[in-house]
Amino acid sequence: RAAGRCGEDEAAVRVRWQEAKLQWAGGGVGAAEAVRLARALLEEVAGDGSAELSALRVRLERTYGGWLDELRAERRAAIEETLLHAQSAADALGPRSASKALYEVGAFYERQAAALELDASSAAALAARAQRSRLESDLRRLRRQQ
């Protein structure tokens, strides 16, 4: 690629990245569009080995992951609120409705526990815990040296 073309590509990606961040800040439908744009940008720069885009690619990946995590947490809270409301409303309809609603709440919590267990045992979680232990050890060593 010509140097000028690479700079144009980088500038276009940076402009679209700024647009995605503005969409995210708007929330709601804009947040969903921001996630779509970020994913498309990541796919676009994935094969580009240029030094110009490497720092941007890291920021894209970090932010995209954070956005996905935030959306997951929001969905979880909305689902929980809906199920708990359904359970409260079902109590007035009798024991059969109440037990079905309670079953759904219990199943939701079981799925959440299984997902958390899977997250906690992932390679990334294990690496993060190891990094934390190294940092704590370094901090203790630095404090002793002072």
Which residue bears the tokens 């954070």?
66
Taking only the tens place, the pLDDT of each residue in 62-112 is: 999 999 989 888 888 889 999 999 989 998 999 999 999 999 999 999 988
Vertex 136, ends 123 and 59: CA angle to 5°?
55
What is the Cα–Cα distance from 74 to 59, expressed in whole angstroms?
22
Q: Model-level pTM?
A: 0.61
